[in-house]
Amino acid sequence: MINVLFSAGAGQWDAYRAPLTEALEDAGLPARIAPDMAPEDVDYIVYSPASGVTDFAAFPRLRAVLSLWAGVERIVGNPTLTVPLTRMVDDGLREGMVEWVTGHVLRHHLGLDRHVATQDGTWLEGSVPPLARHRTVAILGLGALGQACAAALAGLNFRVLGWSRTGATLPGAETHAGPEGLAYVLSRAEILILLLPETPATTNLMNAERLALLPPGAVIINPGRGPLIDDDALLAALERGHLAHATLDVFRQEPLPPGHPFWAHPSVTVTPHIASATREDTASRIIADNISRDQKGAQMRFLVDRSLGY
C-alpha cells in the first residue's frame, strides 16, 4: 500500500478527494490518500503553500513531494526537504493562463477601456485599433505557461518576443536570452507579460532601470509573481507617464493590503491571484502519473531544480 498525505489545506481536500482517488485507482496504484496520516507511514506528500508541513525530515520514508502549484518559491528552499520535488504543469492551469493573458493583452491592444468605461455620448473618431500584426508583445519566461501564451498570441498575429534563461526557440516567436537579450526584448515590448518564477535571480528583475527600457506608453501584465517587479519603481514609472498601465495579478503581500497604492491607482488593475488555478481533474492525473512513474523506477516529470529554484 502506498500512503499519500494530502497536505494542501483543509478546503482543498473536499475538491481533491474524489478525483485523486480515482486517478490513483486508474493508474493501478494500491494507494491510501488522506489529509492526516502518521508521519512514519507517508510515502508521498501532495503539497500546496496552505500545507501546515514545514519539517519534511519528520517523514522517514518520504519519497517525493508533489506540488499542486506551478510556483514553488515557498517550499524550494526548505532545508528539511531532501527528496525530489515536482511542480504542477497541467492542462487546466495552462488553458486558464492562456485565456487570462490573452484577455488582458486584447484589452490593452484594442483600447477597450475607452469604450467600456467612458460611454459618455462622445463619438470617438479615429479610435480604430491597430492590427495585432503591428503590435509587439513580449513574454519573460518561456516555460509551460509562457510558451502556451506565446503560441496563442502568435496565433492572433501579434509580433511575439520571448526571453528565458536558456533562450528556448519557439515557433512564431523571436526568442532571446541573457542580459543583452533582455534589454533588446524590453526596448521593443509594447505589452510586457511576466511569466517567470520567483527565484533569487528573478526577484526585482523589473527594477527602475529595466522599466525605463520599455517604450513610452508600454503596458505591463504580471501574472508571474509579485517580487518580479520593484513596486516603488513601477509606481514611479506610472506616475511620470512612462508606462500606460499595469495589470497585476500577484503581489509581494497577498491579499494585497487595503491601503496599498495599487488599489486606488487609475493606471493599475488589480486581480486577486486568479490568473489561473490548478484544476482538480487534470492535476490529479498528473499527480497519479508521477507517483506511478516513481513506483516503477522511472523519472518523475516536472522535477524542480533546487539549485535554480524552479
Contact pattern for ligand NAP over residues 88 through 107, marking x by CB under 6 A: -x---x--------------
Q: What residues from 143 to 182 belong to the interface with ligand NAP (CB under 6 A)?
A: 143-146, 164-166, 168
Q: Which of 23, 275, 283, 300 binds ligand NAP (CB under 6 A)?
A: 275
Q: Which of 63, 252, 260, 273 is catalytic?
A: 273
Is residue 225 part of the contact set for ligand NAP (CB under 6 A)?
yes
Is residue 192 part of the contact set for ligand NAP (CB under 6 A)?
no
Contact pattern for ligand NAP over residues 25 through 64, marking x by CB under 6 A: ----------------------------------------
Whether the Cβ atoms of residue 92 and residue 69 lie closer than 8 Å to each other:
no
- What are the E-state strand segments in the chain? 2-7, 31-34, 44-47, 64-67, 85-86, 136-140, 159-163, 173-176, 191-194, 218-222, 243-248, 268-270
273 a catalytic residue? yes
Is residue 224 part of the contact set for ligand NAP (CB under 6 A)?
yes
Is residue 227 part of the contact set for ligand NAP (CB under 6 A)?
no
Q: Please list the residues that pair with 107 across neighbouring strands.
A: none
The smaller minimum CB distance to ligand NAP, of residues 19 and 226, is found at 226
Q: What is the DSSP string of 70-127?
A: S--TTTTT-TT--S-EE----HHHHHHHHHHHHHHHHHHHHTHHHHHT--SS---TT-
Cell of 98: 492562456
Residue nearest to ligand NAP (CB): 143
CA of residue 137 relative to chain centroid, distance: 17
Is residue 183 part of the contact set for ligand NAP (CB under 6 A)?
no
Is residue 19 part of the contact set for ligand NAP (CB under 6 A)?
no
Is residue 201 part of the contact set for ligand NAP (CB under 6 A)?
yes
Cell of 151: 503560441
Q: How far is the CB of 252 from ligand NAP (least distance, A)?
A: 13
Which of the stretches 40-48, 194-202, 206-214, 240-248 binds ligand NAP when contact is defined by CB under 6 A? 194-202
Q: How far is the CB of 164 from ligand NAP (least distance, A)?
A: 4
* Matching residue, cell 503560441: 151
Q: Which of 108, 135, 225, 279 is catalytic?
A: 225
CB atoms within 10 A of CB 17: 16
How many residues contact ligand NAP, by CB under 6 A? 30
Is residue 74 part of the contact set for ligand NAP (CB under 6 A)?
no
Whether the Cβ atoms of residue 200 and residue 172 lie closer than 8 Å to each other:
no
Residue type, 205: L
* Buried b or exposed e, range 292-305, using 16+ CB within 10 angstroms: bbbbeeeebebebe
Is residue 293 part of the contact set for ligand NAP (CB under 6 A)?
no
Rounded to whole angstroms, the Cα distance separating 39 from 61 reads: 9
Residues that bind ligand NAP (CB under 6 A): 70-71, 89, 93, 141-146, 164-166, 168, 195-199, 201-202, 223-225, 249-250, 273, 275-276, 310
Active site residues: 225, 273
